[in-house]
Structure 1
Amino acid sequence: MTLTGIQKAALLLTTLDASTAADLLKGQPQQVVQKIAFELSELDLKGQTNTEQASEVVQQFFAELTRPQSGELHIKQFVNSLLQGSAGKEKAKELQNKMQQAVIQKDPFVIISDASPIHLASVLQNESPQAIAIVLSEISPKLGTEILSRLDEQKAQMTVWRMAQPATVSRQTVLRIGEMVHKRLAEMQSEQVEAGQTPEEDTSTANLRKIALVLGGLNKEKRDAFLETIEGKDDEAADMVRALMVTWEDIPRIEDKSLQEILRQVEVSTMAKSLQGADAIIAAKINGNISERMKEMIEEEVSLMGTLKKKDIAEAREAMVQPLRDANKAGDLEFIEEDD
């Protein structure tokens, strides 16, 4: 990418330690500090900074005076040090808030693109297909695919159709939708904190899931040995790892024969509830491993059901997954081997 003058100046400052950079900015108007810090934040959020790029800037302007640093550019830490050093701690937080608002107003999708797929899909689920299509057109294809897979099938299909239509909305409308989505994501995060579900807990669960996936690839003897070690230090963590070894989302990864044996044990009403609003790939996996008679019974059960609460669906899915976990614990569950 071609850098502007202010972007080059911002990158140049990253080659200096925070103290020296702050000394250079002392006495400068806060607007100047804010503008440079804003450019640093935006470049970092868009992933457009690297040591090679910074090195080129240094060579252009200060080849004989400075040297580019090795390693990654820790932009966020640098911005924090820069703001506190040049504007003082009291003003630093105020400037950081202004920077964030400036980024949101200029391009809210830069921040939205860093959101959890689960959270973003939850926010978009209640939006119109047109609004969802606009958001998906502004984020990466990979994230867009994850979002589509989490929407109900009809809404996902309508969204894809909308994306295929010629753009008829102004850039201002696109940005307004982006600001609205960002606001709702922020509200969701705030609600989770109030409910006691902190980011740290989300991270802890994610780490335990990684452990579960690693242990799941071992033979039963080694897996049980590791689980016993974890259990000796933290019973709750061990139970969580066992549960996370097999989740609802893992069903497509299970070998057909193993899945068929378990599905025969599941009640029709439970299966019917669990399939409500299920991802297409999961529904296809289940339907492909039950008899035609079972499918007819499920369809009949669904026709008699009213609107289900999310809690009821979640409980039904948990009831379906539990025998899979039991089979996995006994070493009787086979997973499809993924290609390297």
Structure 2
Amino acid sequence: MTALAQMTGLRKAAILLVQLGTEHSASIMKTLRPAEVEAISAEIARLDSVDVETLDEVLEEFRQLAQARQYYVQGGVNFAEEVLIATMGQERAHEVMQRLTASLVEMPFEFLRRVDAKLILSYLQDEHPQTITLVLAHMQPDAAAIILSGLAPETQAEVAHRLAIMDRTSPEIVKQVEAHLERRLSTLVQASDYSNVGGLTALVDVINQSDRTTERLILEGLEKRDLELAEEVRAHMFMFEDIVGLDDRAVQVVLRKVDSKDLAVALKGVREDVREKITRNMSERAALALADEISILGPVRLKQVEESQAVVIRHIRMLEEAGEIVVSRGGTDEFVA
């Protein structure tokens, strides 16, 4: 239980999503905010291996919280606690209810729980003592202690004094400082914090099951945090533009599976070499019909284009899994004659 108690909620979420499988994880990712998608994607990427005991504890904690939340919805806090006490005893029920209560109310600066305290310090040390005090007042004591101990002596003393005499603060000021800090910290995550092994395959699997909008959010977020990692993820994925790398026979097999309407929308606004790769593997008559269909479409929303491209990519992935075509990724494939 010690390892679980020290584990961040972000890491627990990453472990849970990997265990749920790519399809369910992708569905969950769609419901999250962009910053949350970025943070969880990076955490999945740096997952290496999790021992069976820790995995079981994470899943059990999730089950208990889900069960407690269900009781809460049915009859409120008191009902939930009574049922849990009858189910698992007073002490265990109290622990679960504490976590449930915390999950139901999003506290100010909640996002700081998933950011390393030393990283927060690197940003806060040049802020006004009043701002630093406000942030520390909303942090966990152990993280706040790391930040306070890292401040310059004169700042440290002033912050400690302000913290001791702090009473009430305007909610509007708290929101402003929180929003400002979240924006700044989103660009300061250190590339060295991430591992390029172990969790890469899991992240790629989740992205491959996601819609194009979520895929773009994840990749753009990773680029901001760790460009090298983002490029490695891309190398293991198949992007719509990678069609130009397929051999002609593979393209012809794919085209037999794709509806002409999806293909026309998917080709709106793509590079000329992508469109040429497609039309070169069609009959002259089919290529002319496709060109007419594209021109008739007129302006198309980006979301529609991405959805149609995702349909084409899904066909490519299914054909690859069935062994009907070969997809080369990042030049790492080996062939035996």
TM-score normalised per structure 1: 0.32
Tell me which of the two structures has the higher relative contact order, counting C-alpha pairs closer than 8 angstroms and 6 or more residues apart: 2
